[in-house]
Amino acid sequence: MKINSESLSQFEDALAKRSGEAYVLRLYVSGATPRSTEAIAKIKNICEEYLSGHYDLEVIDIYQQPQLAVQEHIVAAPTLVKESPGKLRRMIGNLSNTRLILQRLGVSS
């Protein structure tokens, strides 16, 4: 029996929607670099557009709280962490691809 990761996330997504569970997201950035500000703006837009009303986005500066990053096994910034619903997923580096992000978050576009 083969389990497709895509189908799994779809399942989780459906589960979240059904339960009305909020998306808990953390965005790890490094200060106010252009990439950081760009990432923050991008993720906020996506959240507002697709997850409006049921998301919780926290932006963490790894310069200010490196210990948090270490605890969460974050090795690079920017990194977007989806803590819930479903399994924890990390998206590292380029956050410009909206479709890919939505897919990772388990949000059907």
Partner 1 sequence: MAAKVKTDHELLEEIQALRIQLQEAEETLDAIRHGEIDALVVNGPEGEQVFTLQGADHPYRLMVETMREGAVTVGLDGTIVYCNQSFAELLGIALERLLGTAISLYVANQDAATLAALLEDGKRDSVKAEIRLKSETEVLVPVSISTSSQQMDQLPAVCLVVTDLTEHQHNEELRVSEKLAKALHEQSELSLAREQEARSEAENANRIKDEFLATVSHELRNPLNAILGWSSILRSRKTNKAQGAHGLEVIERNARIQLKLIEDLLDVSRIESGKLAFSLGELDVVALIETAVEAAQPAAAARQIQLKWNAGNECAIVLGDAGRLQQVVGNLLSNALKFTPAGGKVDVEIGIQLGNVVITVADSGEGISAEFLPFVFDRFRQADASAKRLHGGLGLGLAVVRHLVELHRGHVTADSLGIGRGARFTVTLPLTTVQNNKTVNAVISNAELMAVSTEHKSSLLDGLKILVLDDDPDAREFLQILLTNNGAQVKAVATASEAYSEVQGEVPDILICDIGLPDEDGYEFIRGIRSLTGSSSANIPALALTAFALPNDRKKALIAGYQDHLTKPVESHELLNSVASIVRRNDPLPKSNLT
Give residue 60's Cα distance to chain centre. Answer: 13
Quote the least distance from Cβ 3 to partner 1, whole Å.
Answer: 6
Per-residue contact string for residues 15-44; x = within reach of partner 1 by CB under 8 A:
--------------xxxxxxxx--------
Written as one letter, the residue type at 74 is I
Nearer to partner 1, 44 or 90 (CB): 90
Residues in contact with 72: Cβ distance below 8 Å, sequence separation at least 6, in sequence order: 26, 28, 81
In this chain, which of 14, 15, 41, 75 binds partner 1, going by CB under 8 A?
75
In this chain, which of 56, 87, 108, 109 binds partner 1, going by CB under 8 A?
87
In this chain, which of 43, 78, 80, 107 binds partner 1, going by CB under 8 A?
78
User: Do the bridges between strand 55-61 and strand 23-29 make them parallel or antiparallel, or are there none, so unpaired?
Assistant: parallel
Residue 91 bridge partners (DSSP): 80
Q: Please tell me the distance from the alpha carbon of residue 51 to that of residue 69, in angstroms, as a whole number.
A: 25
Residues forming contacts to partner 1 in the complex (CB under 8 A) are: 1, 3, 5, 8, 29-36, 62-63, 66-67, 69-70, 74-78, 87, 89-94
